[in-house]
Amino acid sequence: MSTSPHPEPRVVAVVVAYNRRDLLVQTLDGLQGQTRPVDAVVVVDNASTDGSGDVAAAHPLAADVVTLSRNTGGAGGFAAGIAHALQAHGADLVWIMDDDTVPTGTALLELLLARQAYPGDPAVLASRVVWTDGRDHPMNTPRPRPGVRARLAARARSAGAVQVRSASFVSLLLDARAVRTDGLPMAAYFIWNDDFEYSARLLRRRVGLSVPSSVVRHLTKTFGSTDADPGERFYYEVRNKIWLFTRSRALGPAGTVLYGGSTVVRWGRTILKSSNRPVLLRAGARGFRDGLATRPDPTPAVLAGMGPVSDEVAAIERGAGRD
């Protein structure tokens, strides 16, 4: 019998797809080419109109395709996919990514080796994300955990990793136990900051590791950070950040002050760099108003009416006391 503190886990990959069928094929090819194979793959087809679901179903990887009847954004797609991975596939670990993420051949192996080497139970492990030319992608840089004690920093280094406070959904390995305790991503966010809120929520009192030896490519059209001009979508950035700072327990008082201040600076930089400031100002004003005036609907309510996956979502949220 193995004496390892981390017995061989069942790893289920979850890919959220929306109208990027050619990129989705590259993602699935990357998953198929892992030196440590995944145990199952779930593709959430977010009501694509380009046949993404058919492409996933026809791929040799034999993915389990969950087709949603409406586009729920990345937030809803990941909530549905994670719930399905746990409830239908018995995942111990859920490896999540977008349909423009291509994992290199050892990406999963390196995450698991770091998890094995760490003297503890990391709840989240994040890959190093690079762009098409190999540069670190500024959009997906994990936030280091502030004030990490020397002993804990040394623990992370012993595993070839760095402790982080949050990370993006572009190649994130989640411990199912943390998900069942703290629930799913907030589907009401639709896009933007859902990964920040969720990873920070899981890591408020748990360990998260950034693992540079695990590498994935993020095939965005342009190389840029989160302060790139978002146009009308700035609404989601502002509304969701207001929700995060005022409605979520992910950060706590000190974290809210720290990240709130950096957010205001980033918003200012985004507006100043914009070629169409009136659009950003209007979208930001609406987002600020709605963020203060409303609360995000519970994830089971947002994902209701989607068939069996709705029941899976409700079960996870109910178990976490978030229904």
Question: pLDDT tier at 3 (50, 70, 90 boundaries)?
Answer: very low
Close Cβ partners of 211 (under 8 Å, ≥ 6 residues apart): 110, 111, 114, 125, 126, 127, 128, 159, 160, 161
- For the stretch 233-248, pLDDT in tens is 999 999 999 999 999 9
> For residue 4, what pLDDT is reported?
46
* Tokens 């746990």 found at: 86
Q: Where are the domains of the chain?
A: 11-225+295-319
Whether residue 271 is predicted with pLDDT greater than 70 in this model: the reply is yes
Buried b (16+ CB within 10 A) or exposed e, 221-254: eeeeebbebbeeebbbbbbbbbbbbebbebbeee
Intra-chain end-to-end CA distance of the chain, in Å: 40
**CATH architecture for residues 11-225+295-319:** Alpha-Beta Complex (3.90)
Cβ neighbours, 10 Å, residue 153: 14
Residue 97 Rama label (left phi>0; alpha psi -120 to 50; beta): beta
Q: How far is it, in rounded angstroms, from Cα 224 to Cα 18?
A: 21
Q: How far is it, in rounded angstroms, from Cα 106 to Cα 30?
A: 10
> For residue 1, what pLDDT is reported?
32
- For the stretch 164-203, pLDDT in tens is 999 999 999 999 999 999 999 999 999 999 999 999 999 9
- For the stretch 47-101, pLDDT in tens is 999 999 999 999 999 999 999 999 999 999 999 999 999 999 999 999 999 999 9
* Tokens 């540069």 found at: 135
Contact status, residue 168 vs residue 126, Cβ threshold 8 Å = yes
> For residue 225, what pLDDT is reported?
62
- For the stretch 114-164, pLDDT in tens is 999 999 999 999 999 999 998 989 888 888 898 888 998 999 999 999 999
